[in-house]
Structure 1
């Protein structure tokens, strides 16, 4: 029924859909995806516990340092103001990842790493380097300028890039392209900017308390305007360059060789450091240079990167449209399903339509899971065309097909309706369609340990 993994350039054969298909390569107690058995010390629980403990310790230390520098009142004011752009930035990056959303655990890790681990490394390394330069040159002013334009970009971008590297190495199946790199890097940088803003806004509030200033003329208001209103995307923009480098490396075929795949993330990191240094330098050499760099470089760069990510997302939808018809021809999908699954509007409409059936939220969740598994199946086949899949290709394909098979009775009518309602198929049938067998998917997981 299933063949060996395809080689580079070879079109992977799609197994025919039988009346009651068997999935012999799928472990009976596997979870979301197939994973081989591992030693206990490499288990998910042990590694998750170690990571959570490390990040918790970093959080305690960095927050204690920031509170010590800003004072308790400054810390609370800075915290309240710094949290304002976080929901907007995280929602924007999550929106970019709508086609094949990555697991929340990866994004939470990235945000926590940026906010706590990377910020702790940066504040310690930057302080040490600036003091060393001031001692060596006996010129504290030039030491601050040199630290901001040379030391800080290298230290901070390297610390943030560590989160992208860790997810790239240890969550490789969730890191498949440019969009994944941009989203992970964006969450990491958003977390870093959050902690940094607490420090800057808290110190500004302390200065206002000493000077007795308040209102729009205060240092706090000016700092808030520059860091939160004008440039909330500054740190994400820097680190996204690193994420793009890792994303291109994830797409690179084996023929590129290890040197190229290693050079791409390093090139992205170097570009991130350069852009960061340009931004810090503009702030250090006067207000006019700051506005010039902001208008002539930062805004166009932000627009260009936004266009690149949106274009990449559209290319992902075209990949779904190109790869899934092979499974429709083999009988796994209905003919209209690739049309619906390659449209974000149709996918949303299918979930809403399923939610209006007697199944309610459980049916809508089943359709959402069906869409996610079908998307993963399309990208898996696309990577097989590029020769970047591993030896467990058949097992992973079987598992995804098994998930689709379990949910098809609920998802298929909804997707067919959505394809017709959005004009991707001309004739619109009445809704709801003929009653389909309903199953409570709220607690359903075919791979959960019983």
Structure 2
């Protein structure tokens, strides 16, 4: 075969064509030397933050304006508004449930972890945007179904047939948005499950504040209630402890369907899997609300054990997912080890979540800027390399993956001298530096010469 024309070769190897190949595979563009402000302006995450933060503030303010004043309905009944004292105390009690689940889900995102700003935006979406959408749509549905009395929120018809679809759709919207904008960074089920859990916990956090505040206001304005604090704490135990798994479990169903779609090449599965996960989430949510609306605690015991069985099944599935991810990373990093681009210890160390955690803690104790930052960047890049290789093997990443892998390998070599990359012989606390031994000065007392004295012999 003859050689290609020079013009065609220049076109095929142009930076524009290479960036396009990367964009089609969901990879970042070729690294270029740019000032920090240019990198910020070219970052989708920056513009997403600029758009979403004011929207979140508006959603919270609008909900406060809806719930704070008293409301009078057409039948003459009055629903008391939520005062600031009730909201403050309710936020205090709802905060502990949210913190516990946030720590759990952030810890779960061990491999190819998202940026903290992405975690924060996802949590705030559930807390601000999803609750704002749900409260408006659910209120409209309650009015359409003729539940416009003072206890309209407790209308079982809207809670069973409308709220599950509205709430699950509003919580999961941020997942699809992040997949479209950052599909190269969401490469595992753990990542998508973490984002789904954070959105659901944000939603449950604000929802619990509203429910706790309503009970607080009702108990303080009803003479029959002798201990308002006990009434609030009983609801805190019910919603914040016993049934706190509800929203995360349902949203995780949609997330798992979306994760299956991201890992397949079939167009039918890419459409059917997220839709099936959403239907399962809505079905479980409808059943949960229907059982909770019955109000008979004795009849809820079988359903309670069924719910615990579902939660245990999901926990076991997540454990198996973590094990599968460790094997995937070790296998794909082994491809680069066999050709000599990685050390023999790299696949072993960076495929274990416990060894990675030890490296994180030890590097942090040795200095956030000097050791922890290079170690964290090294972990992120080597995890990206493993998932990049997996995508290239499955055929979901095109020819632009080889160039990106070359960039990652060069960056790993630059970070290796300053980062902690092995756990053998590594202690959490840095060893103390011993002062070098120095020769002692001669004693300043008379003595015979030759025995350490500074006076001559007589």
Alignment equivalent of 1:167, drawn from 163, 173, 178: 178
Q: Match for residue 393 of structure 1? A: 401
- CA deviation after TM superposition for structure 1 residue 354, in Å: 4.8
Stretch moving more, 193-202 or 105-114: 105-114
d(CA) in 2 for partners of 1:111 and 1:421? 35
Structure 1, residues 330-377: CA drift from partner, whole Å, max 9, x if none? 3322112211111222223334555676x6752133122212211110
- CA deviation after TM superposition for structure 1 residue 104, in Å: 1.7
Q: Match for residue 294 of structure 1? A: 304
- CA deviation after TM superposition for structure 1 residue 168, in Å: 1.4
d(CA) in 2 for partners of 1:54 and 1:308? 35
Q: Which has the larger radius of gyration?
A: 2
Structure 1, residues 210-262: CA drift from partner, whole Å, max 9, x if none? 1243548843122111101211221111111111111111111x2x12x3201
3-state secondary structure, aligned to 1:83: helix
- TM-score, structure 1 length as denominator? 0.78
Q: Is the 8 A contact 2:112 2:185 kept in 1?
A: no
d(CA) in 1 for partners of 2:280 and 2:320? 21
Q: Match for residue 74 of structure 1? A: 86
Q: Tell which has more relative contact order, 1 or 2 (C-alpha 8 A, sep 6+).
A: 1
- CA deviation after TM superposition for structure 1 residue 48, in Å: 2.8
Q: Match for residue 374 of structure 2? A: 366
Q: Is the 8 A contact 1:62 1:120 kept in 2?
A: yes
d(CA) in 1 for partners of 2:49 and 2:377? 24
- TM-score, structure 2 length as denominator? 0.77
Q: Is the 8 A contact 2:147 2:155 kept in 1?
A: no
RMSD: 3.1
Give the alignment of 1:315-394 within 5 angstroms: 315-354=324-363, 362-394=370-402
Q: Is the 8 A contact 2:359 2:421 kept in 1?
A: yes
Alignment equivalent of 2:221, drawn from 205, 210, 222: 210
Q: Is the 8 A contact 1:131 1:143 kept in 2?
A: no
Instruction: Give yes or no for the alignment of 1:55 onto 2:56.
Output: yes
Structure 1, residues 145-178: CA drift from partner, whole Å, max 9, x if none? 1111111111111111111111111121121122
3-state secondary structure, aligned to 1:27: coil
- CA deviation after TM superposition for structure 1 residue 115, in Å: 0.7
d(CA) in 2 for partners of 1:162 and 1:122? 12
Give the alignment of 1:16-95 within 5 angstroms: 26-29=30-33, 44-68=45-69, 69-95=81-107
Instruction: Give yes or no for the alignment of 1:237 onto 2:237.
Output: no
Instruction: Name stretches of at least 5 consecutive residues in structure 1 with no aligned partner.
Output: 5-24, 423-430, 433-450
Q: Is the 8 A contact 1:133 1:143 kept in 2?
A: no
d(CA) in 2 for partners of 1:401 and 1:41? 24
d(CA) in 1 for partners of 2:65 and 2:184? 36
Give the alignment of 1:396-411 within 5 angstroms: 396-411=404-419
Q: Is the 8 A contact 2:137 2:166 kept in 1?
A: yes
Q: Match for residue 188 of structure 1? A: 199
Instruction: Count how many residue pairs are aligned between Structure 1 and Structure 2.
Output: 388
- CA deviation after TM superposition for structure 1 residue 30, in Å: 6.8
Instruction: Name stretches of at least 5 consecutive residues in structure 2 with no aligned partner.
Output: 1-11, 14-28, 70-80, 432-458
d(CA) in 1 for partners of 2:383 and 2:126? 29
Q: Match for residue 449 of structure 2? A: none
- CA deviation after TM superposition for structure 1 residue 408, in Å: 1.4
Q: Is the 8 A contact 1:354 1:410 kept in 2?
A: no
Q: Is the 8 A contact 1:110 1:184 kept in 2?
A: yes
Change beyond 3 A, Cα 1:364–1:231? same
Stretch moving more, 277-286 or 42-51: 42-51
Q: Match for residue 9 of structure 1? A: none
Alignment equivalent of 2:291, drawn from 268, 278, 282: 282
Q: Match for residue 271 of structure 2? A: 262
